[in-house]
Amino acid sequence: MSVRKSPRTPLAVVAGAAALVALTACDSQGSTGNETAAAGGPIKVEATDTACTVSATTAGAGNVTFEITNKGTKVTEFYLYAEGDRIVGEVENIAPGLNRRLIVEVADAGKYQTACKPGMAGDGIRGEFTVTGGAAKQGDANAQKAQATKSYAGYVANNTAALEEETGKFVDLVKAGKVDEAKAAYARTRTYYERIEPVAEKFGDLDPAIDVREADLEPGQQFTGFHRLEKDLFVSGLQADSPQIADKLLTDVKDLVAKSKTFELTALDLANGAKGLLDEVATGKITGEEETFSHTDLWDFQANVDGSKGAITSLRPLLQERDAALVSTLDKEFANVQGLLDKTRAGEGFKLYNELSQDQVKEFASAVDALSEPLSKVAEVVSK
């Protein structure tokens, strides 16, 4: 299923990105949430069309709050830059007369620059800003994480290559009007897509074009991709525009494959992807919603499990070192789900989903829940 999981802002622990987390991230402990941003209160910034007056040019590391007032006649912006003009925080669209607030978490001591941009253009009116104290820089020198992402990149590359090849064959069958052969190839082709869905979902426009379900179409959105051809093959018969839909599918898949080669994932992406794939199973496959015309949900189910396992396999050395008990739990629960899937094998593939009894569906749901719970703990172990 095409669900857009937008790349979430990485946690502050990843790649030294001083991700801005709101002040109250620690509020789950039940604090009042009334922490002051900085010892001296907010830093006042007076922006005009020609000046950018900052009431303090130093601050301690941690949360720094700027209160910006636009006293000019043009709409302005305010930025805090780290070295090399890396944006640490910014606020746009400050209309004349308005007060706006920017709270930034600055973890590292060092030289920064403030900037007001009257007219919202150009390099702005710069000022030096110094941050003192602070934690030692969180290096990303974690070789295990680098190894994990490299290994998973290999897994993705294998599957995208296969996806491109199999989609080519499938599209040829559709265009040749070989309905039975195309039906036989359909689920097998999708396997390679479903395995790498967390990667596919990083491409917000391609994923829906390739994998949108009819029930999820937005007003004015054309029904394209795998599920459109699924409907043609399994329900309504090939349509006049089926060949064009097939061509577009191949074009989109090739585009996705090319883009995935340049895409960098973090170890945390792997952890979240492993969990996300099982969420897909829980909300889409268990209900039989994904393959509503062909009922080949179990092929997708298996592929989602494969993909999840692929990500965990890449993270395995890291997890083994940090939480061996979690690894053995995951092994056990993956094996349990796989055992149930194996029971539904038929010929080259699986039974159709509408052939399963309600008891079997329930058994799957329970096994998926049992696996998803420990999977949801992987991200935290990785982020330590």
Binding site for another protein (CB under 8 A): 3-6, 8-9, 11, 17-28, 30-31, 33-34, 37, 86-94, 100-104, 215-219, 221, 272, 275, 279, 282-283, 286, 289, 358, 361-362, 365-366, 369, 372-373, 375-376, 379-380
Residue number with CB closer to another protein (253 or 374): 374
d(CA 110, CA 59): 10
In the complex, least distance from residue 82 CB atom to another protein, rounded to whole angstroms:
9
Instruction: Give Cα separations from 163 to 69, 190, 252 (angstroms).
Output: 54, 8, 12
Longest Cα pair distance anywhere in the chain, in angstroms?
A: 75
In the complex, least distance from residue 215 CB atom to another protein, rounded to whole angstroms:
7
133 dihedral zone (left: phi>0; alpha: psi -120 to 50; beta): left
Residue number with CB closer to another protein (216 or 255): 216
d(CA 275, CA 283): 13
Residue number with CB closer to another protein (251 or 354): 354
Q: Phi and psi (nearest 5°) for 329? A: -65, -45
d(CA 229, CA 237): 9
Residue number with CB closer to another protein (83 or 218): 218
Residue 194 and residue 210 in contact, taking contact as beta carbons nearer than 8 Å: no
In the complex, least distance from residue 287 CB atom to another protein, rounded to whole angstroms:
8
In the complex, least distance from residue 275 CB atom to another protein, rounded to whole angstroms:
6
In the three-class reduction of DSSP (H, G, I as helix; E, B as strand; rest coil), residue 178 is classed as coil
Residue number with CB closer to another protein (219 or 347): 219
Residue number with CB closer to another protein (116 or 163): 116
In the complex, least distance from residue 347 CB atom to another protein, rounded to whole angstroms:
27
d(CA 115, CA 45): 10
